[in-house]
């Protein structure tokens, strides 16, 4: 027995153009909310009901390659945390200084949303990548540290690529397989 399909359209103001019509062949309801400055929001019922997507991820900090490997992003998302604490380089030691340490870290979080601003077959991913490193180009602790983060929602269809750029040369390249 087929399940009933519900359709709800809300308008922010009286429609001068007729309301946008959305059709759906799945048993999941679709909510269309056209409004000022907002596009149509598609409910993609498959987003949490299909296997994980493989996203090829490459992260660079300036000329340094920080990450280059695929991640599987599904209902539970994916995350990576790399943290390195080590003694600072020998060239940084001052006569009175004790053994100091420096830290470098990379943190990434990916999640697949159920809602997208694009047609079915394209999923929206929330991406957050942060990179921390010594402030000194020599890697010395006395200069302190620096951090940069890029955070964005990215719509990706199969085979599509996207590039996110942050300060200090942080670049995140994504490709959905």
- pLDDT tens, 53-103? 999 999 999 999 999 999 999 888 999 999 999 988 888 876 555 568 899
Q: In whole angstroms, give the CA distance from residue 24 to residue 43.
A: 10
pTM here? Answer: 0.70
The angle at the Cα of 35, spanning 15 to 14, to the nearest 5 degrees, equals 20
pLDDT in tens, 91-144: 887 655 556 889 999 999 999 886 666 666 688 899 999 999 999 888 888 889
Q: Which of 135, 175, 128 is nearest to 150 (CA)?
A: 128
Q: Where are the domains of the chain?
A: 1-43, 48-176
> How many other β-carbons are positioned within 10 Å of the β-carbon of residue 12?
11
The conformation of residue 38, written as its DSSP 8-state character, comes to: B
More confident residue, 36 or 52: 52
């Amino acid at each position: 027995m087929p399940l009933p399909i519900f359709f709800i359209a809300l308008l922010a103001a009286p429609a001068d153009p007729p309301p946008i019509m959305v059709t759906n062949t799945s048993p999941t309801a679709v909510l269309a909310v056209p409004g000022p400055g907002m596009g149509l929001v598609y409910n993609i019922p498959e987003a949490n009901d299909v296997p994980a997507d493989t996203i090829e991820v490459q992260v660079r900090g300036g000329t340094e390659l920080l990450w280059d490997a695929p991640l599987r992003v599904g209902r539970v998302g994916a995350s990576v945390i790399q943290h390195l604490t080590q003694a600072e380089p020998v060239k940084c030691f001052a006569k009175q200084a004790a053994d100091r340490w420096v830290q470098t870290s990379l943190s990434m979080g990916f999640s697949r949303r159920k809602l997208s601003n694009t047609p079915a077959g394209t999923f929206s991913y929330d991406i957050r990548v942060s990179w921390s490193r010594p402030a000194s180009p020599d890697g010395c602790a006395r200069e302190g540290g620096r951090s940069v983060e890029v955070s964005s929602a990215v719509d990706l269809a199969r085979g599509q690529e996207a590039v996110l750029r942050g300060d200090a040369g942080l670049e995140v390249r994504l490709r959905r397989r």
